[in-house]
């Protein structure tokens, strides 16, 4: 129980008058919550992370991060050791000892629907509200369908204990897996929605360091804050599907989508990021967020957004089929009993996350067609094995490539990009590589004897660029 004194004010959360920093609880300790908790401790606050999974709490309590996220284990250990950060399964205890409660639980896609499952967010918010022993600021960070915050305010209204005030506001998180620590410590913007003057001041205090470092603060209403996050992911997804649609034109016209993307990217209004054509997007966020937006926009009668997202999703999913088709073609019309070296299982580099991973989806599709898919990922072999135990897993790039009839580069890990193409050509059965992420140096691989095939680059563009340039030089 807290011993602090809190001065009550009309219609808003109060804060103690003596200037002690707010104490923080973080409910849900997955990628988002564990990183947020460690980052808050790094920013100088006392933080309690809460999770219903005792194994996760036990691991985090000794500084073990149960997933691969560069830099996070170091930060976590630092603050578990400093005593500023601890973890518990006891939400009542954490709530009683904190002033600001960040809700960081997942909003996965509902089974049998495109909608997001907000039941964990509802349960966590209600739990915090019921267990408040003094005024509390409940801050949603999870990605939610617009309108959720307002619903949560109604939901908790009759559950906040007598004499205690609670506010629900939204402060979406924009961290990327693989770069979660840097994104949290130095966010490119801080969006806070639905605040009163006092809760805005509390959040400005919480984010004082990044604000002082120049992070812009956008103060807005609750639905706008919820929608900023969803729209950001929808835009990123649209950018990827746009370049993949243009890649189709490139193939038909004999053009090279990688060069085209570089040229487009020089226009600062467009920018080069998220214009890498290839296998498309996956992971725990972009796919389910565009589907949730599709669902919510339809509910709201905003049909243009819904149909745009449908198209983005369709283009994205068709990229996986294109890679499967390229593999079948490379194997002469059937992959039955062909040995296929699969380089990559994670949905992107620098993570072991295989949720909705395009790489694993392709590996499994080829396996179902009778191929021997031999998968290697520098970090995600274990998580992949748990999701797809029937695939075979190799211990190294060379194991995956040895004897392969074709190899597929499905995640652009530096280890694959920098591999010794000549050595691998010796090991493979037929030196054919499908560069599904347009990440290989095609000239070097071609020179090493590989037949390089890529998405969005006609075979002429892939294999002849360097020779064409050489012959032009000799003519000159």
In angstroms, give the least distance from the CB of 355 to ligand UGA. Answer: 9
Strand blocks (E) in 156-296: 166-170, 190-193, 217-220
Q: How far apart are CA 160 and CA 363, in angstroms?
A: 50
Q: Which stretch binds ligand UGA (CB under 6 A): 91-99, 170-178, 187-195, 298-306?
A: 170-178
According to DSSP, the β-strands at 100-103 and 136-140 are parallel
Q: Out of 138, 206, 286, 431, which residue is the one contacting ligand UGA (CB under 6 A)?
A: 286
Q: Is residue 251 close enough to count as binding ligand UGA by CB under 6 A?
A: no
462-466: long-range pairs with CB below 8 Å, 24+: 462/256, 462/435, 465/256
* Contact residue for ligand UGA among 34, 40, 275, 432 (CB under 6 A): 275
Cβ 110 to ligand UGA, closest distance in Å? 17
Q: 397 φ, ψ to 5°?
A: -60, -45
Residue 343 has phi, psi (to 5 degrees) of: -100, 105
Q: Does 174 bind ligand UGA (CB under 6 A)?
A: yes
Q: Does 445 bind ligand UGA (CB under 6 A)?
A: no
Per DSSP bridges, beta strands 339-343 and 85-88 are: unpaired
Instruction: Please say whether the beta carbons of 290 and 230 come within 8 A.
Output: no
Say if CB 407 and CB 451 are below 8 A apart: no
Please list the active-site residues.
Answer: 285
- The residue from 109, 171, 276, 383 that contacts ligand UGA (CB under 6 A) is 276
Closer of 232 and 425 to ligand UGA (Cβ): 232
| Site membership for ligand UGA, residue 280 (CB under 6 A) | yes
Q: What is the residue-wise DSSP string for 297-342?
A: HHHTT-HHHHHHHHHHHHHHHHHHHHHHHHHHHHTTS--TT-EEEE
Would you give the binding string for ligand UGA spanning residues 405-444, x where CB under 6 A is met?
----------------------------------------
Q: Which of 48, 160, 175, 206 binds ligand UGA (CB under 6 A)?
A: 175
**Lateral strand order in the sheet of 190-193:** 85-88, 47-50, 24-27, 100-103, 136-140, 166-170, 190-193, 217-220
Packed helices 72-82 and 54-61: angle between N→C axes, nearest 10 degrees: 80
From 17-25, 233-241, 250-258, 365-373, span contacting ligand UGA (CB under 6 A):
233-241
> Binders of ligand UGA: how many residues, by CB under 6 A?
21
Binding mask 127-166 for ligand UGA (x = CB under 6 A): ----------------x-----------------------
Asked if 102 interacts with ligand UGA (CB under 6 A), we say no
Query: In the complex with ligand UGA, which residue's Cβ is closer, 75 or 431?
Result: 75
The residue among 436, 426, 428 whose CA lies nearest residue 406 is: 428
Judged by the rule CB under 6 A, the positions of this chain that interact with ligand UGA are: 143, 173-177, 233, 236, 240, 274-276, 278, 280-283, 285-286, 347-348
């Amino acid at each position: 129980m807290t011993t602090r004194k809190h001065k009550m004010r009309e219609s808003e959360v109060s804060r103690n008058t003596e200037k002690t920093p707010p104490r923080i609880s973080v409910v849900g300790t997955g990628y988002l919550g564990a990183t947020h908790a460690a980052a808050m401790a790094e920013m100088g606050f006392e933080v309690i992370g809460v999770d219903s999974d005792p194994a996760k709490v036990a691991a985090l309590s000794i500084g073990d991060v149960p997933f691969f996220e560069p830099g996070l284990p170091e930060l976590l250990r630092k603050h578990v050791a400093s005593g500023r950060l601890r973890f518990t399964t006891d939400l009542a205890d954490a709530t009683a000892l904190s002033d600001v409660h960040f809700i960081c639980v997942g909003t996965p896609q509902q089974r049998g629907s495109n909608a997001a499952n907000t039941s964990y967010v509802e349960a966590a918010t209600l739990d915090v509200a019921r267990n408040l022993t003094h005024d509390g600021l409940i801050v949603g960070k999870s990605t939610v369908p617009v309108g959720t915050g307002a619903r949560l305010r109604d939901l908790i209204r009759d559950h906040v204990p007598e004499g205690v005030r609670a506010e629900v506001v939204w402060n979406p998180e924009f961290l990327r897996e693989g770069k979660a620590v840097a994104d949290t410590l130095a966010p490119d913007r801080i969006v806070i929605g639905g605040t009163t003057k006092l809760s805005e001041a509390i959040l400005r205090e919480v984010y004082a360091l990044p604000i002082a470092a120049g992070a812009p603060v956008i103060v807005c209403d609750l639905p706008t804050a919820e929608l900023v996050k969803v729209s950001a992911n929808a835009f990123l997804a649209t950018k990827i599907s746009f370049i993949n649609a243009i890649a189709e034109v490139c193939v038909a016209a004999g053009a090279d989508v990688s060069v085209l993307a570089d040229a487009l990217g020089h226009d600062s209004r467009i920018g080069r990021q998220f214009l890498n054509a290839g296998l498309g997007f996956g992971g725990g966020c972009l796919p389910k967020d565009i589907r949730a937006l599709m669902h919510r926009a339809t509910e709201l009668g905003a049909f243009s957004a819904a149909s745009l997202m449908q198209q983005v999703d369709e283009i994205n999913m068709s990229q996986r089929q294109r890679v499967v088709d390229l593999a079948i073609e490379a194997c002469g019309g059937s992959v039955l009993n062909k040995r296929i070296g699969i380089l990559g299982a994670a949905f992107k580099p620098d993570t072991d996350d295989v949720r909705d991973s395009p790489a694993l989806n392709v590996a499994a599709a080829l396996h179902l067609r009778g191929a021997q898919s031999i998968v290697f990922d520098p970090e995600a072999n274990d998580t992949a094995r748990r999701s797809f135990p029937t695939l075979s897993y190799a211990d190294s790039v060379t194991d995956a490539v040895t004897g392969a009839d074709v190899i597929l580069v499905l995640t652009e890990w530096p280890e694959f990009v920098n591999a010794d193409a000549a050595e691998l050509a010796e090991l493979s059965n037929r030196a054919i590589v499908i560069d599904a992420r347009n990440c290989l140096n095609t000239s070097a691989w071609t020179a090493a004897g590989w037949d390089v095939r890529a998405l969005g680059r006609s075979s002429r563009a892939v294999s002849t660029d360097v020779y064409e340039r050489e012959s032009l030089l000799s003519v000159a």
